[in-house]
Chain A
């Protein structure tokens, strides 16, 4: 069977972003402890988590870090930023006309209501979910019957990534070939009707 899901983490974790043990450092680790079949959850900083891990000789002590919490520690979601206004900002007033989801809803529940939300809240989602350096892009399977432009954009993103890797490895001849292909696809994309 599938194990029980860990609690569904919200994007906005103001109340639980501080280590429950030392009370100083940001909590980037979710500690799930199972002792005699009883499950408990705590939020810790990496330092406290390591000390707990070393001291534990129990049968089951398991930890997991939601990526969102890791992002908090990187400062990508500025929960502790003193300059962040506490009153609703213009950003917070953002809402999706298709499903009615507001940025506040998203921050509170961690859920978006429809596909359109990904465009409306793109800036917030990128800051909350993107990796440190790599831009968000989808390298896996794509729908077979998606619009031609989707396939083109996907191929362009794939080639852009390949180009960066080739340049990093100083394989410039191959990179030039990829660049030419990118130019060609870019022109095709411009010709596509929206």
Chain B
């Protein structure tokens, strides 16, 4: 699988109920009442899949972090204190719902690959169902109203995750980010930019329809990905020794290290994936899943829950790095340079 594409897609849809003040200005009783009504609706008939409602107060830190790592919960919601908050996951994680975060409702969807239209289709259907029960705060001029006026409009924020190690290595992300900023888009690092992972999203949602926002982001990201591909080829053409050396070293570390932090693991997987894409190395252990999927399951809370039985409460524990290194050794086993 060639990773020089849109590696993951995310979508957020903000809605508020017309009869209540926005969460930061509403009283506790009204927020609790809204949460109860939403939870009741989620448990009602008519949904294609079931909603799993979480009790946020009962969730351990590692469980919350795993929801964030899966793209089911936003980092800002996970960190936000507050009353009346609720959270639910649709089906096996096809979508999720944050209740009483910055706004009353925020539908979320996140999945690997280029999936923005499919996500919009799903979230719009779920939105229609919720709207049958709740009267949304809407104004023909401003669109769907939000506590943050900049988010009023379609209420939609689309996120495209890109794997751009060559652009990061050659210092071209800054110029690209400037260019995007002029078009109302943000380019921010994912995982503090390890492995050249970035996320492109729309800063505001006014004056454009949902499909226009998706079209704009898809089209711009396609151009960025093409640029990344050409820079990778240029690097190999003009600096073949250094390029092969970087990739070979990453493979060597991945095959033999006994403790690996998450950012380092992302850098290693990123470099080896570039090697696979350029036809420099073969890595059978990476054939079954995307580099992004692999990086995702190497995140701390994923490791603790999926491979350590959730027994470690502190996500900075050295045992996690040890377990990650063991996983990497297994993934990179049998990998080698193609001469």
Q: Say whether A and B bind each other.
A: yes
**Are B209 and A5 in contact, with the CB atoms below 8 A?**
no
Stretch of A17-25, A80-88, A95-103, A177-185 at the chain-chain interface: A95-103
Say whether chain A's binding surface is mostly helix, strand, loop, or mixed.
Answer: loop
B149 near A: Cβ within 8 Å?
yes
B145 near A: Cβ within 8 Å?
yes
Query: Which A residues touch B244, using CB under 8 A?
Result: none
**Are A57 and B74 in contact, with the CB atoms below 8 A?**
no
B128–chain A nearest beta-carbon distance, Å: 7
Residue of A4, A37, A56, A153 ringed by the most chain B CB atoms within 10 A: A4
Among residues of B, the one whose C-beta sits closest to the C-beta of A39 is: B192
Query: Which B residues touch A154, using CB under 8 A?
Result: 140
A175 near B: Cβ within 8 Å?
no
Among residues of B, the one whose C-beta sits closest to the C-beta of A63 is: B177
**Are B159 and A140 in contact, with the CB atoms below 8 A?**
no
A98 in contact with B150 given A2-B199, A63-B178, A154-B140 (CB within 8 Å): no
**Are B18 and A153 in contact, with the CB atoms below 8 A?**
no
**Are B189 and A3 in contact, with the CB atoms below 8 A?**
yes
Residue of A32, A65, A68, A141 ringed by the most chain B CB atoms within 10 A: A141
Q: Which residues of A pack against B, CB within 8 Å? A: 1-6, 8-9, 11, 29, 32, 34, 37, 39, 46, 49-50, 52-53, 56-68, 98-101, 110-115, 118, 125, 128-129, 131, 134, 136-146, 150, 153-154, 157
**Are B208 and A62 in contact, with the CB atoms below 8 A?**
no
**Are A115 and B137 in contact, with the CB atoms below 8 A?**
yes
Contacts of B186-212 to chain A: CB distance below 8 A = 186-190, 192-194, 196, 198-199, 203-204, 206-212
A53–chain B nearest beta-carbon distance, Å: 4
Query: Which A residues touch B25, using CB under 8 A?
Result: 99-101, 111, 113-114
Query: Which A residues touch B139, using CB under 8 A?
Result: 115, 118, 138
**Are B208 and A140 in contact, with the CB atoms below 8 A?**
yes
Say whether chain B's binding surface is mostly helix, strand, loop, or mixed.
Answer: mixed
Q: Which residues of B pack against A, CB within 8 Å? A: 10, 12, 16, 18, 20-22, 24-25, 68-71, 74-76, 108, 110, 124, 127-128, 131-132, 135-145, 147-150, 152-154, 156, 159, 168-169, 171, 173-175, 177-178, 180-182, 184, 186-190, 192-194, 196, 198-199, 203-204, 206-212, 263, 296, 299
**Are A5 and B76 in contact, with the CB atoms below 8 A?**
yes
**Are B192 and A118 in contact, with the CB atoms below 8 A?**
no
**Are B181 and A63 in contact, with the CB atoms below 8 A?**
yes
Query: Which A residues touch B136, using CB under 8 A?
Result: 143, 146
A62 in contact with B203 given A1-B296, A114-B22 (CB within 8 Å): no
Query: Which A residues touch B263, using CB under 8 A?
Result: 37
25 contacts between A and B (CB under 8 A): A1-B75, A1-B190, A1-B299, A3-B189, A5-B74, A5-B76, A58-B171, A60-B193, A62-B187, A63-B187, A64-B181, A112-B22, A113-B25, A115-B145, A129-B204, A136-B141, A138-B142, A138-B143, A138-B144, A138-B206, A139-B212, A140-B154, A140-B208, A150-B138, A154-B140
Query: Which A residues touch B142, using CB under 8 A?
Result: 118, 136, 138
Q: How far is the CA of A29 from the CA of B203 in the complex (A)?
A: 13
**Are B209 and A60 in contact, with the CB atoms below 8 A?**
no
Q: How far is the CA of A5 from the CA of B186 in the complex (A)?
A: 10
A129 in contact with B206 given A6-B188, A59-B193 (CB within 8 Å): yes
